[in-house]
Structure 1
Amino acid sequence: MSALVLLTACAGPRTKFNGGVSDPKVAADTQYKSANLRPYKIRGETYKPYIPDKGDTLTGVASWYGAESGNMTANGERFDPNAISAAHKTWPLPSVVEVTNLDNGRTIRLRLNDRGPFVDDRLIDLSKGAAKALGVYETGTARVRLKFVGPAESAAKATYAEAPRRSDDEDRQYRVQIGAFSERDNAERVKNALNGRIDKARGLYVVYLGPFKGAQKAELRRQEVLAAGYFDAILTRID
């Protein structure tokens, strides 16, 4: 499968948090609960949490999520989609992590308190609040760099950020781009499997769903597409 990426990026400064709170606090106690460092298995794959050195970095793809089964994170905290938090498969919980969106330059520090994303090429799953602050909410995914800052306080209050203002975001049109193919037959098979549509762009057959009004509705459908095994699905804005 050839991926055709049609994303828009908007450069901006480091996001400022609401209420005068600049960053989640790093704890003086560096001891993590043993339960949060035990290996665990998801879909037949075993993950082994570890404590990186302060300043260690990882680069990869971020996605976002706005719902969590049971409303509890893997760390035992109540999940708040509007707070500034994220999920990672192997870094310790809870931790403070600095995330930089390499597509637009925005940087925030957030609280790592959940496990995931369990999709092959995803490095981190941002809460909806963190995704808005970093400019990932509109695009669905983005290239990011993570930097490990240190352990987070265990009983810290949720942190919120003032995302770049886009009052008309929910009126914008989005679609879920499933993939792009050089062969029409391959595109037709995917289109039929997901009841999608086909456009031709730059010599490729682009399979998509939509349009949908607002990024959140489109993201819900993208999650369904990911669950069906089409891991290249992204959001694209069409207006």
Structure 2
Amino acid sequence: MSLMACASSPKGRDGVDVHRPVVADEARYNKGNLKPYTVRGRTYQPVIPKVGHEETGTASWYGHESPNRHTADGEVFVADGISAAHKTFPLPSIAEVTNLDNGKTIRVRVNDRGPFSNGRIIDLSRGAAKALGVYTTGTAKVRVKFLGPAEPLTASLVHAVPSDDRQSYIVQLGAFSQRDNAERVRDKIDDAHVDRRGDIYIVYIGPYMGAASAEKHRQKAIDAGFTGAILKRAD
């Protein structure tokens, strides 16, 4: 039975069905997240597939990140929200995911990168995994259909950062085991710093007050070629 057709599908605070996130009329993809990026020595090239493009493979789920951890496109990750990570879909976008083991179907907001395990094609948030029946099994065989760009962020889909956020954030540009490598990266961007944390050297810019302000600087860093730039709370 499809969850999308179920009359009891849960609603967000503004009444939107969280299993049916809206596809936008116009593409508003994060351009920085359409650039190639490298993870564990493998380079991935994001693409904008045709609407209706389908992939079949294994889905997994993730939900153990620290509070207010940000997704690849700068949104706040909420483990119990309805979202997902994909290696190459444009961000943010909407995908339809069908659990081929039980027939359940939901729509998810794709706003993060992953999974980077062989044979897995999509990583579901914990909330999406529960809705799709993947939470208890850990993985499931799924069909993923690309539907198009996502509407701008709303509280019912993924929680936004409060406008009165007083937390301080940095934009992490990279992490290195050798100080020389970290310093070479630092010298490529104005006002960057190197901070040693244990055996790792962190290259960052900031801090900035509030995630919204920090995100603007993250986008500038991405445009400058730092496609792996992420937001982190300042210590």
TM tier relative to shorter chain: 0.5 to 0.7
| Structure 2 unmatched ranges of 5 or more | 159-235
Deviations 1:19-68 (A, max 9, x none): 25331111122142210100000000000000000011000000000123
Q: What is the one-letter code of the residue matched to 1:14?
A: L
Name the residue aligned to 1:39. 36
| Aligned pairs for 1:104-119 within 5 A | 104-119=102-117
Q: Which residue of 2 aligns with 1:29?
A: 26
Q: Work out the percentage of aligned pairs sharing the same amino acid.
A: 58
Q: CA RMSD, aligned part only?
A: 1.6
Match of 1:126 in 2: 124
The one-character-per-residue Cα deviations of 1:112-153 (angstroms, maximum 9, x if unpaired) are 000001101110000000000000001000000001111002
1:86 maps to amino acid: A
Within 1, Cα distance between the matches of 2:28 and 2:127?
A: 28
Structure 2 partner of 1:14: 3
Larger displacement relative to structure 2 (14-23 or 41-50): 14-23
Q: Alignment partner of 2:3: what SS? A: coil
Q: 2:30–2:92: 8 Å Cα contact kept in structure 1?
A: no
Structure 1: unaligned runs, 5 residues or longer:
1-11, 161-239
Following the alignment from structure 2 to structure 1, what is the Cα–Cα distance between the partners of residues 48 and 108? 17
Per-residue deviation, residues 198-235 of structure 1 (Å, max 9, x unmatched) = xxxxxxxxxxxxxxxxxxxxxxxxxxxxxxxxxxxxxx
Between the aligned partners of 1:156 and 1:149, the Cα distance in structure 2 is 18
What is the CA–CA distance in structure 2 between the aligned matches of 1:76 and 1:158, rounded to whole Å? 17
Query: What's the offset of the Cα at 1:100?
Result: 0.1
In the TM superposition, 1:68-87 aligns within 5 A as: 68=65, 71-87=69-85
Partner of 1:186: none
| Distance (Å, rounded) in 1 between the aligned partners of 2:132 and 2:82 | 10
Counterparts of residues 57-206 of structure 1 (less than 5 Å) = 57-68=54-65, 71-159=69-157
SS at match of 1:83: coil
CA distance in structure 2 between the partners assigned to 1:33 and 1:159 by the alignment: 17
Count of residues paired in the alignment: 149
User: Which amino acid in structure 2 is aligned with residue 18 of structure 1?
Assistant: P
1:148, 1:94 → 2: CA distance? Answer: 12
AA matched with 2:33: N
Amino acid at match of 2:53: D
After TM superposition, where is structure 1 displaced by more than 6 Å over at least 4 residues in a row?
A: none
**Letter aligned with residue 104 of structure 1:** N
TM-score computed with the length of structure 1 as normaliser: 0.59
Scaled by the length of structure 2, the TM-score of the pair is 0.60
